[in-house]
Amino acid sequence: MTNPFLPEPARIVRKFELAKDVRFFQIRFIDMERALSFGYTPGQFMMFSIPGTGEAPFSISSTPSRPGLLEFCIRKAGRLTEALFRLRENDGIGIRGPYGDGFPVNKMKGYDLLIIMGGLGAAPLRSLLLYALDNRELFGKLHLLYGAKRPKDMLFKKEFLEFIGREDIECLLTVDKDDAGKWPCYTGFVTSLFERIEDINAENTFACVCGPPVMYKFVLEKLVKLNIPKHQILMTLERRMKCGIGKCGHCAIEDIYTCMDGPVFTYWDVLHMKELI
Ligand SMILES: Cc1cc2nc3c(=O)[nH]c(=O)nc-3n(C[C@H](O)[C@H](O)[C@H](O)COP(=O)(O)OP(=O)(O)OC[C@H]3O[C@@H](n4cnc5c(N)ncnc54)[C@H](O)[C@@H]3O)c2cc1C
Ligand code: FES
């Protein structure tokens, strides 16, 4: 039996800065066949390992509808991420996965999508967003609401600004502060964008949320006010993880293993497991 902890060899194809202390990584399995056949669901994550440093989980930011390359958006936090930031394009790295329960994209077919992200919450939700855009006929209306602290903190800014004005997506971008006064979109918290969306059919909408812990309370209040059913409000949550495959117990809350049962949970799950947030 193959060892489930054994990372597979991969290399960094591209790496660049998205914002201060946040880097974009494009990664490919060394084995080209593996790279092209690798399947995953938006919302799933991979474990990265650097020999002598350790392992850490990162959400996949690319979409399975564009096979071959995996993309990640990583913030420098400590030992592993510092070592990762020191690596260069073409350097090798070990990866294993995909892990976790991602967004139930099959169940979401035919529904409108309301994607709400704050800060680094763009990491997992960009995967769902690009997946919906690549499979546009599978979904109803598509709304993106994204809030960052300042224009320079907005991840994938250039990519998302290009969505504005397109007919297949309503893209609303906001920043808390625009000191230079040059930001072309909105200012205010991400919750202020709710006033700008009118055509929400609550029963037919899946809302998908990821952002800093402080954002959830206010966004969830808005979603509940819109009458979106609690099992159609999905959020991706982070817990400390070690093995990623339900073996070590690090991520457990009662009988829930967030690495296996999550990281995507419904608001319904969260109401019954307050410790999840
Ligand atoms: C399912 C999942 C998906 C993730 N996706 C991403 C992603 O796409 N991009 C990204 O930048 N990060 C992501 N993270 C967080 C990332 O795994 C941690 O930042 C990373 O483990 C830090 O490793 P390190 O060795 O650099 O830092 P460490 O030396 O381990 O820790 C540095 C600091 O960060 C804290 N920390 C570590 N892990 C977490 C965590 N999970 N939650 C809160 N605080 C933590 C530690 O307490 C410490 O204060 C994800 C985490 C999970 C569980
Ligand atoms: S991280 Fe080991 S059980 Fe979830």
Q: Is residue 58 part of a domain?
A: yes
Number of the ligand 2 atom closest to the C-alpha atom of 257:
4
- Report yes or no: 216 and 235 within 8 Å, Cβ to Cβ: yes
Which residues of the chain register pLDDT less than 50? none
DSSP class of residue 137? G
The finding on whether 57 has its CB within 6 A of some atom of ligand 2 is no
What pLDDT is recorded for position 255?
85
Q: Is residue 124 part of a domain?
A: yes
Number of the ligand 2 atom closest to the C-alpha atom of 259:
4
- Ligand at shortest distance from the CA of 101: 1
What pLDDT is recorded for position 237?
85
Query: Using CA atoms, how far apart are residues 99 and 77, in angstroms rounded to an integer?
Result: 21
Ligand 2 center–CA 208 separation, angstroms: 24
H-state helical runs in 64-168: 79-86, 122-134, 157-161
Pocket, ligand 1, Cβ cutoff 6 A: 45, 56-59, 72-75, 77-81, 120, 123, 238-241, 263
Task: For residues 139 and 231, state if they share a domain.
Answer: yes
The finding on whether 242 has its CB within 6 A of some atom of ligand 2 is yes
Rg (CA), the chain: 18
DSSP class of residue 7? P
Task: For residues 157 and 85, state if they share a domain.
Answer: no
Q: Is residue 205 part of a domain?
A: yes
Tokens 């029963």: give the residue: 203
Q: Is residue 152 part of a domain?
A: yes
Number of the ligand 2 atom closest to the C-alpha atom of 242:
1
Q: For position 58, which CATH number holds?
A: 2.40.30.10
Tokens 């892990």: give the residue: 99
What pLDDT is recorded for position 272?
82
For residues 164-192, b (16+ Cβ closer than 10 Å) or e, as one string? eeeeebbbbbbbeeeeeeebebbeebbbb
Task: For residues 145 and 232, state if they share a domain.
Answer: yes
Q: Is residue 106 part of a domain?
A: no
Task: For residues 122 and 187, state if they share a domain.
Answer: yes
Burial group, residue 88, by CB count within 10 angstroms (0-12, 13-18, 19+)? exposed
- Report yes or no: 28 and 68 within 8 Å, Cβ to Cβ: yes
**What is this structure's pTM?**
0.95
Domain that residue 35 falls in = 8-99
H-state helical runs in the chain: 32-37, 79-86, 122-134, 157-161, 213-225, 258-261, 267-272
Task: For residues 140 and 194, state if they share a domain.
Answer: yes
Task: For residues 135 and 198, state if they share a domain.
Answer: yes
The finding on whether 247 has its CB within 6 A of some atom of ligand 2 is yes
Please tell me the total count of domains within the chain: 2
Q: Is residue 85 part of a domain?
A: yes
Q: Is residue 84 part of a domain?
A: yes
What pLDDT is recorded for position 153?
96
Phi and psi torsions of 47, nearest 5°: -95, 130
Task: For residues 150 and 44, state if they share a domain.
Answer: no
Task: For residues 153 and 82, state if they share a domain.
Answer: no
Q: Is residue 69 part of a domain?
A: yes
Q: For position 185, which CATH number holds?
A: 3.40.50.80
Out of 65, 99, 133, pick the residue that ends a domain.
99
What pLDDT is recorded for position 276?
64
Task: For residues 117 and 228, state if they share a domain.
Answer: yes
Strands 70-75, 92-99: pairing is unpaired
What pLDDT is recorded for position 277?
64
Task: For residues 21 and 65, state if they share a domain.
Answer: yes
Number of the ligand 1 atom closest to the C-alpha atom of 75:
11
Task: For residues 223 and 130, state if they share a domain.
Answer: yes
The finding on whether 4 has its CB within 6 A of some atom of ligand 2 is no
Task: For residues 75 and 117, state if they share a domain.
Answer: no
